[in-house]
Structure 1
Amino acid sequence: MSKRTILVADDDASIRLVLSQALTRAGYDVLPMSNIATLWNHVSRGEGDLLITDVMM
């Protein structure tokens, strides 16, 4: 079974970093991003198994 990929979208770099590090240590592939345009590119290509995002983003 392949690793699951989690998209982490947050405009706050420190939150993005902490989440990405914790999820990577837990065994997930993580795609961190800081803006909606990048997020939309990944989502439109069907990438990621789960999305964690900032409510205000």
Structure 2
Amino acid sequence: MLELAELLAEVLKKAVPSLSEQQVEDAGIYMAKNRDVFAKAFKSQPDALSELLADTAAE
């Protein structure tokens, strides 16, 4: 998971240079931890992201 998080962070930093290093790192880790949900969303199931929104609302 760490390798995926690092690669995601690198891609995010390149795409959005205004993000801080901490934001990039946090986003990369979050996406890597939830890679199954993001994979479903990218495979024409965008409603899968609702699962992450529900988890956030519960916190």
Above 0.5 in TM-score? no
TM-score by length of 1: 0.36
- Normalising by structure 2, report the TM-score: 0.35
Rg larger in 1 or in 2?
Answer: 2
Q: Which of structures 1 and 2 has the larger relative contact order (alpha carbons within 8 angstroms, sep 6+)? A: 1
**Greater fraction of residues in helix:** 2
More strand by share: 1
